[in-house]
Structure 1
Amino acid sequence: MAPDDPHYNPDPRRHPGLHVIAIVEAVKGALAVFAASGLELLGPAPLQRWVHELIARFQLDPDHGAMAWLANAISPHSVHFAAAAVLAYGLLHLLEAWGLWRAKAWASWLGCLAAAAYLPFDIYALFRHPGWLSAGVVLINLIVVWVLGRDLFKRRR
């Protein structure tokens, strides 16, 4: 490619794949920050009510099982803890998005490791629940690992 070509990019690390992944990470981060805010604004009472409504709707045992445990575990402290964890998750994704948009090596490392960490669970889900959705999730994570791994490999050369 020549410098007058519109697709010419002198920096091999900066390619549209990084920007696409950055946008996806920014959306995930923003949604997580909004979810954390929602947890803090709602508090435990509506969450407990919704869990009890689910237990009644699906005719589950209100004294035993995962949903009963969840209903009992919801407290102001647990909601604050969950909101803090979701906020940290969201901020990490926003930071990663910023780094990927700016073609920072640490962001490629972070994104590659995070996507690779999800792959065993995604592959397990694909075998447990085969279908287009499971296959699509595995494929997308493989593409993310490949794009970010390729970016890191190009940086080493």
Structure 2
Amino acid sequence: MSTSPHAAAEEHRGLHAVALFEAAKGALALLAATGMEWLGPAPLQRALDALLALLHLDPAHGSPAWLAHALNPDAVHLAAAVALLYGAVRLAEAWGLWRAKAWASWLGLSAALYLPFDLYAFALHRHWLEAAAVVINLVVVWVLARDLFKRRH
């Protein structure tokens, strides 16, 4: 017995929450791509320094150090293209999740790939930001896996 996409969304309201989360990530990625192309690396470097100070992250280690080093004139176009692609994929996923499409749930399960890295970062730093990333990714994976399980059974 097959249910309509609208019935599947009603049956599992978590899809809409994940869709909104993915749409926000996609919109932020598109905004970042636009900012990188429009502003160039200098204002982005200042913004990154301010953000790292606000979040009390060490700019000399880990991904903040890599990002600070990557913000140079040669890398801005590549980074903007990657952010644009990432944003487009996340927005497509959000659309599919809102419409309760199975392919979107499969695509969204890519969040499970981040879990080992998130857990490792949390084990190393024990910071609220890493804890939030772990919790959010666990919730997203659970919602999407539950959706796919319900479709199968």
Return the TM-score normalized by structure 1. Answer: 0.72
Question: Structure 1 residues 99, 44: closer, same or farther in 2, change over 3 A?
Answer: same
Which of 141, 144, 148 aligns to 1:145? It is: 141
Q: Which range is displaced more, 119-128 or 138-147?
A: 138-147
Count of equivalent residues = 133
Distance 2:21 2:15 in 1: 10
Equivalent position of 2:69 in the other structure:
70
Distance 2:129 2:75 in 1: 32
Equivalent position of 1:101 in the other structure:
98
Distance 2:44 2:139 in 1: 36
1:44: how far off? 4.2
Which of 23, 27, 36 aligns to 2:24? It is: 27
Percent identical across equivalent pairs? Answer: 60
Q: Which range is displaced more, 83-92 or 10-19?
A: 10-19
Distance 2:122 2:113 in 1: 15
1:95: how far off? 0.5
Q: CA RMSD in A?
A: 2.9
Structure 1 residue runs of 4+, over 3 Å off?
A: 44-48
* Counterpart contact for 1:96–1:107, Cα < 8 Å: yes
1:129 aligns with 2:125: yes
Return the TM-score normalized by structure 2. Answer: 0.74
* Counterpart contact for 1:29–1:89, Cα < 8 Å: yes
- Structure 2: which 5+ runs fail to align? 51-64
Question: Structure 1 residues 136, 38: closer, same or farther in 2, change over 3 A?
Answer: closer
Higher share of residues assigned helix = 2
